[in-house]
Amino acid sequence: METRALLESVERLIASRMSDVQAGRYNIAYKSDGSPVTSSDQFLENLIRGHIEQHLSDLAFVGEESFDFQSPSQKGYVALLDPIDGTENFCSGLKEWGVSLSIWNKGQHLGSMLLMPELNERLITGDTIPALHSRITGLSSSFNEGIVDALRNAVEYRVTGCAVYNLLNVIRGTFARFINPKGAYAWDLLPGLMLALEHNCLVHVNDEVFNGQFLDPTQRYRVDIQHRYNLHRR
């Protein structure tokens, strides 16, 4: 199956199982770092993984809920998935949570998707997006001293607690910038970073210009993304 068609089939699969996703919303446990995880996080990861494995052979699957922090082989397909990004929002009853998915083959990016099921919004590789303009800087919700500087310098700012929401907004111009100075893992960031490059955003990872390389999921990455309105792909 062609990558875009596969990503769209994942979108449809999630939509068809939203009643199951919502049913596990308040079935909450806590990880060793104190962050919440719901039965829906695990349900969605297993659902999506099984679907992708039906279509891609020789697949190394990297999912937030099952990753064992061993660098995946890049000799074949690699899928990176955060089944529910913004779990704190999700299990608090907020709609600002999303699914982040990226497909690679032999180190080459094939396609990515940012999906916000309860807001009915998505961005998939190859999509066109509207011409929007903003002064808002989106900030990650994990505290870091860099956040203080960003707050001081921002004309307007928003803290939403969901990387998918932040990434989607900066890519389409609803935010002028998105900054995460503390860092996050590849499943949180890489799909959005690749879509940001596709739409001509200026992307820095760990203070260096990002050119679209695969990011090792065992590490955390700081990001700074700026929407370039004069170069924006529509």
154-191 confidence digits (pLDDT tens): 778 888 999 999 999 999 999 999 999 989 999 999 99
Comparing 82-86, 113-117, 141-145, which segment has the lowest mean pLDDT?
141-145
Mean pLDDT in the chain?
A: 92
* DSSP character at residue 215: -
For position 146, what pLDDT does the model report? 66
**Which tens digit of pLDDT belongs to each residue from 96-126?**
999 999 999 999 999 999 999 999 999 999 9
How far is residue 85's CA from residue 79's CA, in Å, rounded to a whole number?
Answer: 16
For residues 72 and 104, the answer to whether their CB atoms sit within 8 Å is no
CA 47 to mean position of chain CA atoms? 18
**Which tens digit of pLDDT belongs to each residue from 9-48?**
999 999 999 999 999 999 999 988 888 999 999 999 999 9
**CA 50 vs CA 10, 69, 103, 115, 152: distances in Å:** 11, 20, 14, 18, 45
**Which tens digit of pLDDT belongs to each residue from 179-225?**
999 899 999 999 999 999 999 999 999 999 999 999 999 999 999 99
How far is residue 61's CA from residue 63's CA, in Å, rounded to a whole number?
Answer: 6
- Six token digits for residue 112: 């990515």
For position 150, what pLDDT does the model report? 64
Helix (H, G, I), strand (E, B) or coil at 109: strand
For position 218, what pLDDT does the model report? 96
Split at pLDDT 50, 70, 90, the class of 234 is low
pTM of the model: 0.93
Q: What is the CATH number of domain 3-124?
A: 3.30.540.10
Q: What is the CATH number of domain 136-226?
A: 3.40.190.80
For position 159, what pLDDT does the model report? 84
How far is residue 196's CA from residue 202's CA, in Å, rounded to a whole number?
Answer: 8
For position 215, what pLDDT does the model report? 97
**Average pLDDT of the segment spanning 130-159:** 77
- Residue ranges per domain, the chain? 3-124, 136-226
